[in-house]
Structure 1
Amino acid sequence: MTAGAAAWGGHPDPPAWGVASAPPELLLALLGLLSIPGARGDCGPPPAMSHSRPSSSSSSFPVGSRVTFSCTGGARRIPGLPDTVECLPGSVWSRLPEPCGRSCSAPARLRFAALSKEDETRNFFPVGTNVSYVCRAGYENTSEISPSSTCLQNLTWSQPAELCRRRSCSAPGALPGGRMGPLTDLQLGARVDVSCEDGYKLVGNNFIWCRLKGNDVEWSELPTCELITCSPPPAISHGRHDGEGVGIFVWNSTVTYSCDSNFQLLGNGSIQCGSGGGWSGAAPQCRGGASPGLRVFSGF
């Protein structure tokens, strides 16, 4: 018997059987081969990942199958990396780097500084990542070092040093006819109250503040203190006042009225320019009927 005949159960080499006429031991061998995933084009379970899991829990994936991974345990997608594997011919999974990783959340927003333009565009911050800040407009750096923060092992950010301070306005200008409160602070956001002296009225805000202008700071516009004036006092029939010929009647100015002879003064003999720009009362009247040389005054 030849070696070929011995290998095939004594039959001539090669055999020309159909499946139905194959010896039982050969059928069992074929079934055993088919039970191996690779023998029928199956990749088996997807690769294990540290921070992600497959979308399917099946253990059998024929060639051409695709499986997508999602992040677990608070991990975040790593930008730019794929998240899907495919069962390739030869019953092997395509190569897939870990698509997820441990990352801090977005860095804290600071009152005095903003993230650098480079770090502002990032959305993945693995442990050990360092981000830098730049002082905001209206602030200036107090050191040659910029504020920075690091993603720690517990996925929190280290506290950045406050290396930016508010810029200061120069001393505000003078306010003619007015006064300002004490200048206890000249830095950005500082506020100073403004008021007018007696005889003046305030036009504008009753305070100024140190405000942002570009990247620098300046005081807001000063109000003005205008001199309080009254319109000329009213004239009266058969009488006059002692302010005739005066050009301007300022706050607290007083004029006194008198009547022609044979007329009697009725009402207040004097009126005063008040803080609201009006006279303190109505002008008096001169009534006839008094004896010659008799003049009656009332009021002040």
Structure 2
Amino acid sequence: MAAAKTDAVEQNPNAGARGDADPSEIGRLIVQCSDQPGIVSTVSGVLAQFGANIVSLDQHSTDPSGGRFFQRTEFHLAHLSARRAELESVLEARVGEPYEAEWSLASPARRKRVAIMVSKTDHCLLELLWRQRRGELPIDIVMVISNHSTLADDVRAFGIPFVHIAVDSSDKTAAERAQLELLRGNVDLVVLARYMQIISENFLERVGAPVINIHHSFLPAFVGAGPYQKARDRGVKMIGATAHYVTADLDEGPIIEQDVVRVDHGHSAQELQRRGADVERRVLARAVEWHCDDRVLRHDNLTVVFD
């Protein structure tokens, strides 16, 4: 099955495909399995059986012969909530079992609950808070956790709880235990918006939600403190940012989004840092939006991101 893509309508999360439809009647079906004949037909057949109208469909195959298949289907179905259990049962019987597929069914009516972790730098945090307040992100930010109290007033001005949990650099166990007590079972996503602490493997195993991080794209070059001064001294011509899922391998998780901006010899280290901050906040906001709009499909250390 060759890679293909169809877009019946505009896919803005707040308009387009849904139009004026009740969000509770919109479903997003995500399917991932080994590529094989009949998957698209079967999925479409199940939805047609229930009287659903497909309004957007994206699909991708890593290889038409033995590759991995990914599909995101958005559809409208009246009384979806009441019929959800029946639909899920049929999907498992006709898609999940025969194709050995991983699949999930989500709805924009249930906004993702997001926690943000931050240290002292505010640009990525404030970008997410501002976009949520303007309705530009399909999320509810339920708390901000920080190892410093610096940004408490900024966060509380948005009416969002701010929790200060100090971190002992010699032993982070107590801090992570306190963080996990707040997060486990309460959030769908954790965002590291310039949280300047290394997340332990134990935390990732126990938090029960994906974790997204943002950092400058110089890595693995210019590691440590003062990366923009190092970059200027080296004469770089581009700076950028990377948003990725966090794994036990530091800064090597599946990449969701990246972007760059050109610079030149006339820019100071401070100007490079300012431009880098602009890229970071845009890249992180896009990554969070796409994840919470169910557009990012993970496989091993790769991602498929549908527009």
Query: Could you state the TM-score of these two structures normalised by the residue count of structure 2?
Result: 0.16
Structure richer in helix, relative to its length: 2
Q: Which has the higher contact order (CA 8 A, sep 6+)?
A: 2
